[in-house]
Structures are given as structure tokens and as C-alpha cells.
Amino acid sequence: MAPLVEVRNLSKHFSIGGGWLRGEPGILKAVDDVSFYISEGETLGLVGESGCGKTTLGRTLLRLYEPTSGQAFFDGVPIFEQNRKQMLSLRRKMQIVFQDPYASLDPRMTVAEIIAEGISIHKLASSSKERMEIVHHLLDTVGLRPDASKRFAHEFSGGQRQRIVIARALAVEPSFIVCDEPISALDVSIQAQIVNMLEDLQHERGLTYLFIAHDLAMVKHISHRIAVMYMGKIVELADSRELYANPQHPYTKALLSAIPIPDPDIESQRERIMLEGDVPSPINPPPGCRFRTRCPNAMKVCGEEEPPTFESGNHMVACHLLT
């Protein structure tokens, strides 16, 4: 079966202007030669430290940013080759849930206006009555009462606002949603509720997710496969259980070692991998492996050549240690 979403050698670079205080201008390589696919009905988790390029990757995939190079396909359609009219049709099928529910909702609009905006743009209702019926149904779908439609975003809690954001995304009946750290701004007690709701929606509607996060424990819960990103590169990608049971890349091992285990006996005997060394600048990064300055197993070749990619079944690793 062909993948619903496919990314081939995608890069997104930003020009950083110079100046007498900043020196020569440079190129910020936020996403650099990234490839992956997502099957229909699957959740691909994308994890990594803040600033590694996760959000930029998600937004470039949806063409909120124009790519520097590479290709992306949705159901076989080349996303970056669509004109404005074609892109409008494609955007109905691809939506995004932003990280901050406080910033992603217009404070001047009622909840009904926020959710109905996409319905109106794509002409999905034949009358204002039908449009409001759809809004009420969507609010019920995400666990909110219909009378919430008359209120403004500032009247709701963070978890409720994120439910409104999800309802807005669902309003145009998409098949693919980029979830850009949708729970990181929420209380821990609310995070599991939102994740469980996203899973239920996936099963009910056949949704496909790119789930971006830095909480590896939560990503394991919702994802079928997980990609690990470091400084604009995907360094490891595998099935969720396989990645946690058999991590291959030194960076993945370090990330997983930081996840606490609730059993105190096991936790006390576990070795935590502490990363040392400096993080290289993403502006004109040095040659070779970008993780080598922090890697406890770095070799001479790591500073000279890009690490090759090794694949074994559904497990992909980019590391010289496997040569």
C-alpha cells in the first residue's frame, strides 16, 4: 500500500542576516535532507530536543513554510508543485494543531466563528443553520457543551482551548493532521485526556498523524513508529516498541535513559547516559556527524563524513558505529 504522506530529501534553510555585531551572514539549516513516509491511519512520532527542527519540518510539510529543496507528497500529489487554488483544496485534507492553544485562537472571535471559518471557506454547509449544527456536533465530539459556541477563547482553560483547536482542525474533515506538541503547554493531568481523545478520533475517522513532541513517554503511548531528530537530521526511525527495546543511535539511547521508570528498584540500577560537550551551531554546521561533539563513542571518521544510513526492516539508523 502506498503511503499517505511521503517526504523525500526535504530541506528548509533560513538566511541569517549579518551585521557589524553578528559578523558574516549564514544559513540556518533547520531541516536538512530529511526523508520518511506515513501510512494511512498511522501515527508517526517525531521527537528531539527543542530547536532540532521538528516544528519547522511539520510546517514545511504543510507548506506554511516554502521548502528550500526536496519533495513532499500527499496521497501521491506533489504538495510543493500546487498553485494557490490547488493548495486550498489540498489544505482541507491536511490540518495542524498548534502547540500553544492560547496563541492559536483569535481572541476577538467566538468559538462558533473559529470552528465555522474553515466550513465557510470550503463551502461545507448549505446554510447558516447547517453550519451551526456542524459546530455543535464538533464541540460534542471533543467533549465540550454546545453552549461553548457562544463564548470566547479566553473564557476556557488550556485543555478546553486545545479541544477547540482540535475541533477547528476536524471541521474540514481532514485525513492528515500535524500535531505540533499539542500537549506540552497543558497540565500533566490534562495531557493524557487529550492524547486519549486524539487516539479515539483516529480510530473513529481513520486519521493519520505526525505527532511532534519532546516527551518520549507520551510519544511511545500514541505512536506506531517514532523518528528521532537531531539538529535538522533524522538519526533513527523505527517501530515504537523496537525503538524503546533496541535503540541503536547514541543520541536515542541518551534520550531514553532520561525517562524515569516508576519501579524504584529498576530505576536505582539503571544507568543514566549524560551527554557532555558543546552543541554545534545550526548556522553553517561542521562537516560529518552533527552529534559527534556530544557523542561518547565519536571516532575520527565522524568528523570527516556524513554518517551512512543503515536499514534493517523498519529500523533506520544513521551512524558510523554500525559500519
Which CATH number characterizes residue 254's domain? 3.40.50.300
More confident residue, 286 or 71: 71
From residue 120, how far is each of 129, 131, 138, 147 by CA, in Å?
12, 8, 15, 20
| C-alpha cell recorded at residue 281 | 551551531
Q: Give pLDDT, residue 23.
A: 54
pLDDT at 267 over 60: no
Domain count along the chain = 1
pLDDT at 216 over 90: no
Q: Give pLDDT, residue 188.
A: 84
More confident residue, 60 or 17: 60
What is the arithmetic mean of pLDDT over 209-238? 92
Q: Is the dihedral of CA 103, 109, 111, 114 positive or negative?
A: negative
**Which candidate, 305, 267, 269, places its Cα nearest to that of 288?**
305
